[in-house]
Structure 1
Amino acid sequence: MKHLHHYHVWANERMLDHILQFPDVFRKPSAGPFSTIARTFGHIYDVDRLWFTRMKETSLSAIGKTEFSDVQEAKEAFTALHKKMSQFLTLETDRNRMIHYENTEGASFQNTLSELVTHVVNHGTSHRGNVVVMLREAGYRSCPTDYIYFLRDL
Structure 2
Amino acid sequence: MLQTYLAYGQWANRILIDRLTDLPDAVLDAPQPVVFGSIRRTYHHLLVIAQVWQAHLLGRPHGYTSRDPGHPPPMAQIGAALAELDAWFLDYGAGLKPEARTQVVHFTFIGGGDGAMTQEAILTHIVNHATYHRGHIVAMLNGAGISMANSDMPVFLTAPA
Q: Normalization by structure 1: what TM-score?
A: 0.86
In the alignment, is residue 150 of structure 1 matched against residue 156 of structure 2? yes
Tell me what 1:46 maps to: 48
* Alignment length (residue pairs): 153
CA apart distance, 1:138: 1.0
Which amino acid in the other structure matches residue 50 of structure 2? Answer: D
User: What's the RMSD between the two structures over aligned residues?
Assistant: 2.0
The answer on whether the counterparts of 2:46 and 2:130 sit within 8 Å (CA) in structure 1 is yes
CA distance in 2, matches of 1:139, 1:18: 13
In the alignment, is residue 55 of structure 1 matched against residue 61 of structure 2? no
CA apart distance, 1:126: 0.7
In the alignment, is residue 91 of structure 1 matched against residue 92 of structure 2? no
CA apart distance, 1:105: 4.0
* Identity across matched positions, percent: 25
CA apart distance, 1:109: 2.2
Unaligned runs of 5+ in 1: none
In the alignment, is residue 126 of structure 1 matched against residue 128 of structure 2? no
CA distance in 1, matches of 2:149, 2:33: 20
Which amino acid in the other structure matches residue 121 of structure 1? Answer: V
The 3 A distance-change label for structure 1 pair 34 and 107 is closer
Tell me what 2:12 maps to: 11
Unaligned runs of 5+ in 2: none
The answer on whether the counterparts of 1:95 and 1:112 sit within 8 Å (CA) in structure 2 is yes
CA distance in 1, matches of 2:154, 2:33: 29
Q: Secondary structure at the match of 1:150?
A: helix
CA apart distance, 1:135: 0.4
Tell me what 1:115 maps to: 121
CA apart distance, 1:63: 4.5
Which amino acid in the other structure matches residue 94 of structure 2? Answer: T
CA distance in 1, matches of 2:65, 2:130: 16
Moved more, 24-33 or 76-85: 24-33
CA apart distance, 1:78: 1.0
Q: Normalization by structure 2: what TM-score?
A: 0.83
Moved more, 105-114 or 138-147: 105-114
CA distance in 2, matches of 1:63, 1:151: 37
Residue 67 of structure 1, aligned match among 47, 68, 72: 72
The answer on whether the counterparts of 2:29 and 2:40 sit within 8 Å (CA) in structure 1 is yes
Which amino acid in the other structure matches residue 60 of structure 1? Answer: H
CA distance in 1, matches of 2:116, 2:35: 28
Which amino acid in the other structure matches residue 10 of structure 2? Answer: V
Q: Secondary structure at the match of 2:72?
A: coil
Which amino acid in the other structure matches residue 18 of structure 1? Answer: R
